[in-house]
């Protein structure tokens, strides 16, 4: 079951792609999201508000992903942290629905 107004944080290094991601995350009625390009900004956003899902996007290394995931899980054990592939709309909805069903 999809919760209403799912809140999503996306962190990736490609600013142009993150602009597109921001538009995609805020297009559906039942999702809203913010995008950041720096890990520090991701942590700051996470401290300010609660997110249901964090998407790790292109440019973030697996080492950086591990550090971020540990941080997010420590502060909010229920949060879903997931690597986003594809950079656009093709897989985004599927990734989110599948993650919610298998949380």
Partner 1 sequence: MAKTVLHKAATRGHADHGWLDSHHTFSFANYYNPERMQFGALRVLNDDIVAGGRGFDAHPHDNMEIISIPLEGALEHKDNLGNTVITKAGEIQVMSTGTGVFHSEYNANTDIPAEFLQIWLFPNQLNVTPRYDQVTVDINNRPNQLQQLISPDPNGKGTWLYQNAWFHMGRFDKGGETTYEIKKQGNGVYFFVIKGKFIINGQELDNRDGYGVEDTSQFTIVSQEEDAQLLVIDVPIFS
Applying CB under 8 A, the residues found at the interface with partner 1 are 12-14, 16-17, 20, 57-62, 85-91, 93-94, 97-98, 101
- Closer residue to partner 1 in complex, CB, 30/62: 62
- Closer residue to partner 1 in complex, CB, 70/97: 97
Q: What does the alpha-carbon distance between residue 5 and residue 29 come to, in Å, rounded to a whole number?
A: 7
- Closer residue to partner 1 in complex, CB, 34/57: 57
- Closer residue to partner 1 in complex, CB, 41/58: 58
Q: What does the alpha-carbon distance between residue 79 and residue 101 come to, in Å, rounded to a whole number?
A: 13
Cβ atoms of residues 48 and 56 within 8 Å: no
Q: What residues contact residue 77 under an 8 Å CB cut-off, 6+ apart?
A: none
Q: What angle do CA 7, 91, 13 make, to 5 degrees?
A: 65
């Amino acid at each position: 079951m999809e919760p209403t107004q799912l809140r999503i944080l996306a962190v990736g290094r490609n600013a142009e792609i993150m602009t597109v991601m921001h538009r995609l995350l805020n297009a559906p009625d039942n999702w809203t999201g913010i995008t950041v390009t720096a890990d520090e900004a991701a942590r700051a956003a996470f401290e300010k508000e609660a997110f249901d899902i964090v998407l790790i996007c292109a440019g973030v290394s697996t080492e950086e992903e591990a550090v971020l995931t540990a941080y997010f899980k420590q502060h909010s054990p229920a949060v879903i942290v997931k690597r986003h592939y594809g950079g656009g709309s093709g897989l985004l909805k599927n990734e989110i629905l599948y993650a919610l069903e298998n949380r």
